[in-house]
Structure 1
Amino acid sequence: MSDSVPGSDEGGAATRPVPHDLNGRLRLSIDGPLAVVTVNNPPHNLFDEDMWQAWFAAVDWLENNAPRALLIRAAGRVVSAGVDVRIFRDTPADQVERYWRRNLRIVQALERLPCPTVFAAHALTLTAAFEIALACDFIVAVGSARFGLVERRVAFTPAMGGTQRLAERAGVSRARELVMTGSLYRASTLADWGVVNALFEPATFADAARELALGLANGPTRAHAGTKQVIREYCRGGVVAADAVLPAVAHRVSGTADHHRAVAGFLAHGPDHSTEYLGR
């Protein structure tokens, strides 16, 4: 892994320092065209104030140094046991709205990234970690990994956007069920619901998740950004809103180097051409 990330702008690669260790809670590294964020706050990868600050630093760097894809994963036996419950006790009542409005910016920033994002869950993934996963384009997991929005156990409701993003993926009935019961659901069940995109075997999970993310990172980066914009508009306003932006998106993507190279490759070698995408 390197200390710089290839830029996807017309200027090509740029050297940008990577803040490797973020508050002792996250590690940020570069794997070719891929940025990797690793949650690393043993033993339970809890979301405490240092974890929030680490995520603010990570998304700030990612927004200013957009990679061609992002992989989020975790070290340890669990992905995360969720929010440190002491936060609920210690946050002053008059600061609660501001506190969660601030934290919600993390998932909103991840959704705005103009590149594919992949969340890899190898084990238990609760509350804030699950909500971050729901902000990503892809969630991959081992079949036995368990997910939950379990805030009902402290008479709370998910405050990192998980309820609405789960409803977006699985429908409002499933969102009500998962949040109101506070139950844990296996990844295999969430795959049936359309929440988890792919299930990988435990023995090869890390490699399979990386392979998927790298494949996306080596794809037509600007076209992927266009796809994400169209989907965002659809989620905001349905087909009419998506149709309204689509011609401009198509115009922008048609001017990219990757589009020109891919069209030339297709015409010369057919649909199985092996043109290398440059991310610009």
Structure 2
Amino acid sequence: MTSLNTEPIQFAKDGDVAVITMQFAPHNLVGKTLSEALIDNLKRAETEKARAVVIKSGLRHFSAGAEMSLFENAGARRNDVDFVGVLRAFDELPIPIISSVHGIAVGGGFEIALASDLIIAAASAKMGLVEATLGLHPLMGGVQRLIDRVGLARAKEIVLLARRHDAATLERWNVINRVVPDPELEAVTMSVAREIAAGPTVAHAATKRLASLYSNNGMRAADEGMADIADAIYRTADLQRGLDAFATTGPGSAVFEGN
């Protein structure tokens, strides 16, 4: 899965799916270069009107973590990387993001996946927040995003023990969404992405926004913001397509166009 391309990320469109392939040799280490490329390509996905995004690796591993130089010189280089900006780019993109994980995804690499909306992993993948082995803790949102997915006790276990976990265990713990045989990873990921992309785009964006509001501000804020967030849906042609299809050909028969 190696690539000779010097760009840290390759961007491609597969129909309505934007495919963002990390290829920052040797191991997609997260630092200024890869972070800025991720932000730029997520913006490009929106500009090119993608309706789903897949993030994957063209190298042997999804990502082996952060660039070690970020932690030298009392963190001087770490301050050059806008980790929060990366997280905001994932969270605020009004398009569902799927991380497709193979090989190793640890540290900052696993945090990229955790920032995504869905994670699909190959059965042989190994993932973990291993920063404690370096005398650190996760610096790119991993702690709080694990808590969101699995609760306090399990998140603390994953971070404090700093182990690499197999994909089946993480699926059982609800950290990731789906585990598939290695040869089926790309096909399953793209099948899920195309299904999402064929859905009502504005409604999906509203779902992301409401979920983020709940995660950041709690149930009451989400309840109070629900009507305003849904308002844009009522102005879409896709809603009318859905209602018309329901009346004429039955539930689940609508063909949405993303507007």
Q: Same fold (TM over 0.5)?
A: yes
Q: Which runs of 5+ in 1 are unaligned?
A: 1-20
Q: Is it true that 1:194 corresponds to 2:177 in the alignment?
A: no
The answer for the alignment partner of 1:276 in structure 2 is: 255
* Aligned counterpart for 1:123 among listed residues 103, 110, 134: 103
Cross-structure match for 2:33: 50
After TM superposition, the structure 1 stretch with the greater mean CA deviation from structure 2, 106-115 or 21-30, is: 21-30
Aligned equivalent of 1:244: 224
Q: Is the 8 Å Cα contact of residues 16 and 49 (structure 2) preserved in structure 1?
A: no
Structure 2: give runs of 5+ residues left out of the alignment. none
1:179-199 Cα distance to aligned partner (Å, 9 max, x none): 111111111111111111111
| Residue in 2 that maps onto 1:235 | 215
Spell out the pairing of 1:179-190 with structure 2 (5 A cutoff): 179-190=159-170
Amino acid aligned to 1:59: L
Aligned residue identity for 1:84: E
When residues 200 and 95 of structure 1 are mapped into structure 2, their CA distance, relative to the original with a 3 A threshold, is: closer
**Cα distance, 1:103–1:62 mapped onto 2, change above 3 Å:** farther
Q: Secondary structure at the match of 1:37?
A: strand
Asked if residue 255 in structure 1 is aligned to residue 235 in structure 2, the reply is yes
Let me know the Cα RMSD of the aligned residues. 2.0
Answer whether contact 1:22 1:54 (CA < 8 A) is retained.
no
Partner residue of 1:40? 23
**Matches of 2:83 and 2:173, distance apart in 1:** 27
| Match of residue 70 from structure 1 | 53
Contact 1:33–1:68 (CA under 8 A) maintained in structure 2: yes
* 1:151-166 alignment runs, 5 A limit: 151-166=131-146
Q: 1:32 to 1:104 in 2, by over 3 A?
A: same
Q: Which moved more, 1:57-66 or 1:67-76?
A: 57-66
What is the number of residues matched between the two proteins? 256
Inter-partner Cα distance in structure 2 for 1:152 and 1:84: 15
2:59 equivalent to 1:79: no
User: Are the aligned partners of 2:10 and 2:21 in contact in 1 as well (CA < 8 Å)?
Assistant: yes
1:99 Cα offset (Å): 3.4
Q: For residue 119 of structure 1, what is the amino acid of its counterpart?
A: S
Tell me the TM-score normalised to structure 1 length.
Answer: 0.85
Deviations 1:30-52 (A, max 9, x none): 11111111011233222243223
Counterpart Cα distance in 1 of 2:129 and 2:49: 29
The one of 85, 88, 100 equivalent to 1:105 is 85
CA contact (8 A) 1:148 1:184 kept: yes
